[in-house]
Amino acid sequence: MPSSASTADAHNELKAARRKLLRLIARTRRVGSVTLGATPRELILDNQGFRLYYYPGCAEAAAQRPLLIVYSLINRPSILDLSAKRSLIRAFRDRGRPTYLIEWKDPRPHDRFVSLDDYICDYIDRCADVLAERHPGRELDLLGVCQGGTFAVCYAALNPERIGKLITLVTPVDFHAGASTLYRLARDVDFERLTRVNGIISADTLNSVYVGLKPYQLFAQRYVAMLDMNDDEALADFLRMERWMYDSPDQTGAAFCQFARELYQENRLVRGSFELQGQRVDLARLTMPIRNVYAATDHLIPAPSAQALGSHCASKDYDELVASGGHLGVFVSGASHKRLLPALADWLNQPI
């Protein structure tokens, strides 16, 4: 039987936890509902499958190349503009960069056959055409994030003459390197069979997979730590992250299967056999200046997976930056917003 001392300790811990919970409830009521997307933007193009947004800035320089940000299909890009103090988008906009973002639309049942060929060779290319019209005579800079980084790498390899500089953030290139957990999960799955009935992969299915990779950290640990939040701003950022994490879009079956089979299972990108619209994606055509950022403890994109870009591209101005922490810290951590993102924005502003 437990001793009276241990019973008393447990009782005291429960009382302390209850007090923290009551304070948290009161603080949450003060914070109220939170919104995502702190930076004003303009809708430039509303097309099948995507929207193109522009973030006007008062310090914008006419001579600057436009920056096009390409995000993943897996989550929504609002994490790039989480709040006024934690905004990747604002970090570039405020340094004079004409900043644009592709926001992928939620797929509908009849979009089941929309493939990576459509996303990369059609949708990104249409955005590049718009930027060429709005900034005549200027190449565009590409910033790709996670899966969107793979998209940006592919587009730049197919269209190197259109690209000024390329930045990749936590971007998989060698999908088998670094003992990737996602590769181990994907290698024996029949993805065509998975999407044969509905043609769409639901967000709930994908969320359960990603949360299942780190269940303790993403459930118990996070919510226990939440009890000790003594700052309304920190709590608001936590609630924004919660809203972002569980508001993921569905995936088209064709694009999901193509990415999972040809890249995760068959690793075609680094093997030189990945094709889009009949064109081979040759990483040796990446001759533009490149900054490749990876996270030191990323459980989704291991460092060797991202670092493989350096050994396959042909850029004479290639550099790698390692960010402390995990996958999401690159976008939202205080260290990234204090040092990493301003350094990347300043690098873009340097002449080629």
Q: How far apart are CA 38 and CA 233, in angstroms?
A: 14
Using the predicted structure, report yes or no on whether residue 334 has a pLDDT greater than 70.
yes
In a domain, 241, yes or no: no
In a domain, 213, yes or no: no
Using the predicted structure, report yes or no on whether residue 313 has a pLDDT greater than 60.
yes
- The residue with tokens 């999972």 is 260
Q: Binning pLDDT at 50, 70 and 90, where does residue 216 land? A: very low
Reference 308, options 174, 191, 165, 133; nearest CA is 174
Q: Domain of 153: which CATH number?
A: 3.40.50.1820
Query: Cβ neighbours of residue 266 under 8 Å, at least 6 residues apart?
Result: 273
**pLDDT tens digits for 31-72?**
556 666 789 999 999 999 999 999 998 666 666 899 999 999
Interval 183-189 mean pLDDT: 71
273-280: long-range contacts, CB 8 A cutoff, minimum separation 24: 274/154, 276/116, 276/117, 276/120, 276/121, 276/154, 276/158, 277/117, 277/121, 279/121, 279/158
Q: How far apart are CA 250 and CA 73, in angstroms?
A: 8
Cross-strand bridge partners of residue 102: 52, 70
Tally the domains of the chain. Answer: 1
* pTM for the predicted model, two decimal places: 0.86
For the chain, the straight-line distance linking the first and the last C-alpha, in angstroms and rounded, comes to 73
- The residue with tokens 């430039």 is 44
In a domain, 10, yes or no: no
**pLDDT tens digits for 270-303?**
999 999 999 999 999 999 999 999 999 888 899 9
Using the predicted structure, report yes or no on whether residue 116 has a pLDDT greater than 50.
yes
Distance of alpha carbon 220 from the chain centroid: 24
Cross-strand bridge partners of residue 194: none
Using the predicted structure, report yes or no on whether residue 237 has a pLDDT greater than 90.
no
Using the predicted structure, report yes or no on whether residue 211 has a pLDDT greater than 70.
no
CB 26 within 8 A of CB 72: no
Note the helical H segments in 94-251.
Answer: 116, 124-134, 147-158, 181-186, 191-195, 203-213, 215-216, 222-226, 232-245
Reference 302, options 185, 172, 210, 212; nearest CA is 172
Which of 97-111, 130-144, 175-189, 285-299 is least confident? 175-189
In a domain, 83, yes or no: yes
Reference 119, options 144, 155, 145, 77; nearest CA is 155
Which domain range does residue 120 map to?
33-202+250-349
Q: Per residue in 142-179, is it b (16+ CB within 10 Å) or e — as a string? A: bbbbbbbbbbbbbbbbbbbebbbbbbbbbbbbbbbbbe
In a domain, 331, yes or no: yes
In a domain, 215, yes or no: no
Instruction: Provide the pLDDT for residue 298.
Output: 87
Instruction: Provide the pLDDT for residue 208.
Output: 64
The per-residue pLDDT of the chain, averaged, comes to: 84
Residues catalogued as catalytic = 146
In a domain, 161, yes or no: yes
CB 233 within 8 A of CB 31: no
For 294, the 3-state DSSP assignment is strand
In a domain, 218, yes or no: no
Using the predicted structure, report yes or no on whether residue 92 has a pLDDT greater than 60.
yes
Reference 333, options 82, 72, 148, 78; nearest CA is 82
Q: How many CB atoms lie under 10 A from the CB of residue 64? A: 18
